[in-house]
Structure 1
Amino acid sequence: MKIRTTVAAGIAVATALALTACTGGSSSSPGTSSGDGKISGNISFQTWSLKNDKFTPYFEGVVKAFEKEHPGVKVNWIDQPGDGYEDKILQQAGSGELPDVVNLPPEYAYSLASSGQLVDLKKDSKVLGDYLEGGVGAYKFDGIDGSFGFPWYLGTELNYWNKDLLAKGGVAKAPATFEDTLDAAAKLAASGVATMSSVPSPKMLQIVGATDAIYKDGKFVFNTPKAAAVIDRYAKLYKAGAITAQALQVAGTEGSNVNIFNTGGVVWTTAGPNYIDKDVAVNAPNLLPAVDVTNGFGNPPLFVQGISVSKKSKNSAAAMAFAEFVTNTSNQIAFVKLAAGFFPGTKAANADPAAFAGTPINELQKAATSLAAKQMANAKMTGAPQYTEAMETYAKQQIALAVTGEISGKEALDKAVQYAQQNVAK
């Protein structure tokens, strides 16, 4: 068993909100829905970097409410630090001490599921249909039958536009599709306006539909003719001035596209749903009147943290009941109220974003939150558990060479696929 490093969508650094009283869920939770076993005994529940002044009262309230509803159960809440969580999970799994209920991103869940350590929720939970399909899908893995995590807190990305720069280049409104964006970029470049400051990555190519998958049936498959055509189109746009020189600086550029957008340097960026109030209004307030927001393109990305159940739990009925309880609609709404910019994992919770999003400072923030909530129904996780950050970096380096015309888009993707296939963990 091998767990690959991932950039987790942790919320320990999420923008703070005032701590409000937590309900700990209601007695109508689906806690008694799973299996025929008796809900009793001691279970452990592990979170990832969430024990602090903001979240501790919430988790204490959830545990207390569950134990009150099920007097025969005691829940021991454990929280692990942000650093070293991957190693800790490895240690716990290898020694047979994996917590009964555990917070796992899909990458970690894949490794544990592939070694038979997680419960198949598709078989053992009667409420899996209550959760967002994209979130459930993030815990279904190529080559492994089953579903191995309840989606807990989720994120996505929207498109943001500089209306003043669009107008300067003679584009009347924000492009509606990715293809429209490429057409607009060519027109804007003729007026000296740059549209983007990043090169496409395989994950981005998946989002816009240039490849259906990153990894399938044991092979990396993102070197499609359609994906190569997108990269070749970027090469033409780069020559025309539609793409900034910063796009070629692949290493250490996370967030650079947003930063350049904030300075008025490019027309388009992607960011999370709380971008308006938490970034633009704070770091670029003069830009705020010029910003517009639209849905993400194609298959909007989904960022997921979930709750899984250990297959080796000695009190499996209690473990399943608690996993369902902590991720039920009322508890998820209470949780994301504390985690600004994230969305709950159940369909019912996302039906009314006003119930958890708080009061927006700017009207555009309200629009962004509403768009993101509706988008969650179709959002899907990009990439694959087998696809590592090192693979993504190498692919972007090759694509940057293609954008400057040194190699073709096909050559760039073929090299990236070859590298990925040679380095996939067995």
Structure 2
Amino acid sequence: MRLARGSTTVLAAMTAAVLALSGCGLGGSGTQPGNQSVTGEIKGQVSFQTWNLKSKFGDYFTGLIAEFEKQHPGTKIEWLDQPADGYADKLSADATAGTLPDIMNLSPDLAYPLYQKKLLLDLDTAAPEAKKDYLPNAWAGYVMPSADPALRRNASFPWYLNTGPYFYNKQLFGQNGLDPNKPPKTYDELKEQALRLASVSGGKVAMLGQTPGIEDFGLFGVPLMDEGGTKFTYNDTKGVQLLELYKAMYDAKALLPEALSATYTGAGAKFLAQQIALSSGSAYDLQKFRTDAPGLYANIGITEPMSNTGKANMYLQGLSIAAQSKNKPTAIAFARFVTNAKNQLAFAKIVTVFPSTAGTLDDGFFTAEDGTDVGRVRVAAAKQLANAVNYTPVQLSDQMKTILRNEIANAMLGKQSAKQALDNAVAQSDKLLRPNG
């Protein structure tokens, strides 16, 4: 199930405590067409673009940059911070104009089109020693798909991760025939409990507030694309099974009817109003429950997301290097400085995100609860990240997401079968994948 509220927002911060890079040289070579060998001293100016950070972390980043420049005399970091709205459009415009910054804060889906146009550095080749410093699943999250295995290369240094446990309303469970201490762990249990809850409540309480998104198909164990990333495959037998499961819940009023709207964003408010019993979110939401809905807060249960794969969904942010940067050594050095283990741990202690560096999640900050709401969620979420996966294909555009939601809505309404809905969504999305689609 998708995050109903508090899905990963673009947050980033870094601490003034830094880990100096040893030496002043940096070597490597790029294999992606257009990349050049990365050699030379760490000196000179580079531009560093972030995504909606300045309003909260302006002083912090200013200090961070000053520390790097102090450690590397002769360097200068030009910090560019863009608003969240229109960030993808700004990247596209800069790509067209040939003015991309040296270092860019990118999610995998934003990195993909730039990499396809050969505008991002291949980091597997440019910085081969870096891979070992990050969680394997975080590094893999930025490996760009290609029909040619040789071109499946990493396009970003992983920066920070996020995921979320699921919240459920113990009172609504107990009042409507469910065990408040046994939330659903499997999709079969989800269906069984959702139908019972809707029946006992006479359709007044729904279990869920959203139809499935692409990540739900991934969690269910549906293969989303072929190995080369050339076509979508979520219309297989398993995909149909998941959609039919949601159809059964919808028919029983265990799924909010408003969820069929492609623009519906009210599931969080419904959970807050105790009209749905199960939702997903973050520590921010738990704090909101405490202040805005104390009755709900007193009955909140926390559980792991349902998954047939045993792997939770993961959201990523990273730092990519422009292939045409005129100062790649300094760009790579600063990107690795921002994303090193010491800085990522310090960053995670400031905001509610998680480090992508190897071994950092073993720190007691992520393994021991501290008696706070944030601590409860942090520990629960950190357990999921060791083997979590970014299920959303990087090729999946917003247009493709809308197509999928519309076809799912038609299936929920009985206008077409689950199989036909997914076949239609796959056909339309595959057409968009082709350059002349």
Normalising by structure 2, what TM-score? 0.84
Query: Within 5 Å, which residues of 2 pair with 1:331-410?
Result: 331-339=343-351, 341-352=352-363, 354=365, 361-362=372-373, 365-410=374-419
Question: What is the letter of the counterpart of residue 94 of structure 1?
Answer: T
Does the CA-based 8 Å contact 2:408-2:421 persist in structure 1?
Answer: yes
1:326 aligned partner: 338
Q: Does 1:160 align with 2:167?
A: yes
Please report how far the alpha carbon of residue 323 of structure 1 lies from its aligned counterpart in structure 2 after TM superposition.
0.9
Please report how far the alpha carbon of residue 384 of structure 1 lies from its aligned counterpart in structure 2 after TM superposition.
1.8
Change (3 A) 1:69 1:284: same
Does the CA-based 8 Å contact 2:217-2:224 persist in structure 1?
Answer: no
Please report how far the alpha carbon of residue 67 of structure 1 lies from its aligned counterpart in structure 2 after TM superposition.
1.6
Change (3 A) 1:366 1:184: same
Segments of 5+ residues of structure 1 without an aligned counterpart are 1-6
Please report how far the alpha carbon of residue 167 of structure 1 lies from its aligned counterpart in structure 2 after TM superposition.
1.8
Aligned-residue RMSD, C-alpha = 2.8
Please report how far the alpha carbon of residue 206 of structure 1 lies from its aligned counterpart in structure 2 after TM superposition.
1.4
SS in 1 for 2:298: helix
2:156 aligned partner: 149
Question: Aligned residues: percent identity?
Answer: 33
Change (3 A) 1:77 1:221: same
Q: Cα deviations across residues 227-254 of structure 1 (Å, max 9, x unaligned)?
A: 1112212222333332232233x22213
In structure 2, what is the Cα distance between the partners aligned to 1:24 and 1:425? 46
Q: Does 1:269 align with 2:269?
A: no
SS in 2 for 1:274: helix
- Kindly tell me the number of residue pairs found equivalent between the two proteins: 406
Change (3 A) 1:44 1:359: farther
Please report how far the alpha carbon of residue 330 of structure 1 lies from its aligned counterpart in structure 2 after TM superposition.
2.2
In structure 2, what is the Cα distance between the partners aligned to 1:288 and 1:8? 19
Does the CA-based 8 Å contact 1:29-1:325 persist in structure 2?
Answer: no
1:3 aligned partner: none
Change (3 A) 1:101 1:360: farther
1:313 pairs, out of 325, 331, 347, with 325
Q: Does 1:138 align with 2:141?
A: yes
Question: What is the letter of the counterpart of residue 201 of structure 1?
Answer: G
Change (3 A) 1:198 1:82: closer
Question: What is the letter of the counterpart of residue 105 of structure 2?
Answer: N
Segments of 5+ residues of structure 2 without an aligned counterpart are 1-5, 29-38
Please report how far the alpha carbon of residue 378 of structure 1 lies from its aligned counterpart in structure 2 after TM superposition.
1.8
Question: What is the letter of the counterpart of residue 152 of structure 1?
Answer: W
Please report how far the alpha carbon of residue 269 of structure 1 lies from its aligned counterpart in structure 2 after TM superposition.
0.9
Question: What is the letter of the counterpart of residue 167 of structure 1?
Answer: G
1:11 aligned partner: 10
Question: What is the letter of the counterpart of residue 18 of structure 2?
Answer: G
Question: What is the letter of the counterpart of residue 218 of structure 2?
Answer: Q
2:256 pairs, out of 235, 238, 244, with 244
SS in 2 for 1:160: strand
SS in 1 for 2:306: coil
Q: Does 1:232 align with 2:239?
A: no
Does the CA-based 8 Å contact 1:31-1:324 persist in structure 2?
Answer: no
Does the CA-based 8 Å contact 2:158-2:319 persist in structure 1?
Answer: yes
2:121 aligned partner: 119
Please report how far the alpha carbon of residue 65 of structure 1 lies from its aligned counterpart in structure 2 after TM superposition.
1.6
Question: What is the letter of the counterpart of residue 38 of structure 1?
Answer: E
Change (3 A) 1:133 1:179: farther
Change (3 A) 1:322 1:305: same
Please report how far the alpha carbon of residue 393 of structure 1 lies from its aligned counterpart in structure 2 after TM superposition.
1.9
Does the CA-based 8 Å contact 1:138-1:380 persist in structure 2?
Answer: yes
Please report how far the alpha carbon of residue 417 of structure 1 lies from its aligned counterpart in structure 2 after TM superposition.
0.9
Please report how far the alpha carbon of residue 203 of structure 1 lies from its aligned counterpart in structure 2 after TM superposition.
2.7
Q: Does 1:73 align with 2:75?
A: yes
1:56 pairs, out of 55, 58, 61, with 58
In structure 2, what is the Cα distance between the partners aligned to 1:87 and 1:56? 23
Please report how far the alpha carbon of residue 382 of structure 1 lies from its aligned counterpart in structure 2 after TM superposition.
2.4
1:45 aligned partner: 48
Does the CA-based 8 Å contact 1:30-1:324 persist in structure 2?
Answer: no
Does the CA-based 8 Å contact 1:357-1:369 persist in structure 2?
Answer: no
Change (3 A) 1:368 1:30: farther
In structure 1, what is the Cα distance between the partners aligned to 2:7 and 2:121? 22
SS in 1 for 2:50: strand
